[in-house]
Amino acid sequence: EDQVTQSPEALRLQEGESSSLNCSYTVSGLRGLFWYRQDPGKGPEFLFTLYSAGEEKEKERLKATLTKKESFLHITAPKPEDSATYLCAVLLSGAGNTPLVFGKGTRLSVIA
Amino acid sequence: DSGVTQTPKHLITATGQRVTLRCSPRSGDLSVYWYQQSLDQGLQFLIQYYNGEERAKGNILERFSAQQFPDLHSELNLSSLELGDSALYFCASSVQGYTEAFFGQGTRLTVV
């Protein structure tokens, strides 16, 4: 069965303390991997798309990387406004259109 | 603002009732997805439509149904509602079925 596992479940950082979130996947074929940010009670906000191993994307304090088995979301010098749940999702390969399969997320808290 | 519009934002209804949730995708997006997110649960895929046709089905209950209309808006119908159906329901849209999806702000359904 295709699975997406995110770790840790929750992470508490001091402002300025860099860290990484992990998304590992066991799928039969990966078409793409997506990172989202979700604030409480709101819809997920798209951050990055990664399509092939070795690919990297950056946006402000966030950098996403992809290997054949996992993806990392690196957060450099985080600020309190980076507090949110970060979700990763995989798009499976196959005929036609397939839905995104989401992990359960990492709940990030950044303390001033 | 993702460009995906969901109405209503909040819905409170009694057990056994039927409700309809509405989604307008981003301009130009042909694919629409519906997801359910319960408290402390991840995003569970329900169903996907592409240009009016059903393309993929997840763990959608038989009491739930959806459709995508010629103008590409979509509706999710939930009937014989139970307390356990209380959740956030998200709609997302994408240009194709293999590109990043953009989420609406969700409909919070409370069944009492």
Residues facing residue A60 across a β-bridge: none
Cα separation, A60 vs B64, in Å, equals: 40
Residues facing residue A87 across a β-bridge: A36
- Look at B100 and A103 and tell me if their CB atoms are within 8 Å: no
Structure tokens at B107: 């409909």
- Look at B108 and A41 and tell me if their CB atoms are within 8 Å: yes
pLDDT of residue B34: 97
- Residue B89's nearest CA partner among B18, B7, B28 is B7
pLDDT of residue A31: 84
Cα separation, A45 vs B105, in Å, equals: 9
- Look at A99 and B2 and tell me if their CB atoms are within 8 Å: no
- Residue B61's nearest CA partner among B42, B72, B77, B49 is B77
Q: How far apart are the first and last CA of chain A?
A: 41
Structure tokens at B35: 């997801």
Could you report the per-residue pLDDT of A3-55, keeping only the tens digit for each?
899 999 999 999 999 999 999 998 777 889 999 999 999 999 999 999 999 99
Position A75 pLDDT exceeds 80: yes
B 3-32: CB under 8 A from A:
4, 31
B-chain residue closest to A9, CA distance: B40
Structure tokens at A64: 């996403």
pLDDT of residue B99: 81
Position B14 pLDDT exceeds 90: yes
